[in-house]
Amino acid sequence: MITKEDIKNLADLARIEISEAEAEGLTSQIDSILGYVGQIKDSTGDVERAVPKLRNVMRDDVVTHTEEEYTEKLLNNAPSREGKYLKVKKIL
């Protein structure tokens, strides 16, 4: 049984702010969803992990575009920038 405190803790871990009222609503919804998916616990038997069809797919680590080709396009999508840098709040 999942509790409201669990939901608030998960939201903190996921860095999502939720209101008290939402935490309340989510508790019963997520509890019923976890109850449903929890049926897999009843299944028995293990498998030997199969090797995936595709593995170690590599490509050469080379420059594929001209310098600053995407700089402005990428920085223009940022909510806040200063020159050619993304601007964030002081962390330390």
Partner 1 sequence: MIDISKLTIQSLNKHLKDGDFSVRELAEVYLENIKNKNPDVNAYLEIYSDVLEQADVIDKKIKAGDIKPLSGLPIAIKDNILIDGRVATSASKILKGYVAPYDATVIKKLKEQDVLFLGRANMDEFAMGGSTENSVFGVTKNPIDLSRVAGGSSGGSVAAVSMDGALASLGSDTGGSVRQPSSFCGVVGLKPTYGGVSRYGLMAMGSSLDVIGPITKTVTDSEILFNAIKGQDPMDSTTYGEGIYSQREVKSKMVVGVPYHVLENGGLSDKVRKNFDESIEKLRSLGYEIKEIKLPNIEYSLAVYYILMPAEVSSNLARFDGVRFGLHVDGDNLLQDYLKTKGQGFGQEVRRRILIGTYVLSAGYADAYYNKALVLRQKISEDFEKAFSEVDIIVTPTTPGPAFKIGEKINDPLSLYLEDVFTVPANIVGIPAISVPSGSVEEEGVSLPLGLQIMAPHNSEKILFEVGKKLLNE
Q: By the criterion CB under 8 A, which residues form the site for partner 1?
A: 2, 6-7, 10-11, 13-18, 22, 26, 29-30, 32-34, 36-41, 43, 45-47, 49-50, 53-54, 57, 59, 70, 73-74, 76-80, 86, 88-91
* Closer CB to partner 1, 43 or 66, in the complex: 43
Q: Please provide residue 8's backbone torsions phi and psi, each rounded to the nearest 5 degrees.
A: -65, -35
* Closer CB to partner 1, 37 or 63, in the complex: 37
The separation between the first and the last C-alpha atoms of the chain, rounded to the nearest angstrom, is 39
- List the beta strands (DSSP E) in 1-92: 81-82, 85-86
> Least distance in Å: CB of 71 to partner 1?
10
Q: Largest alpha-carbon pair distance within the chain? A: 58
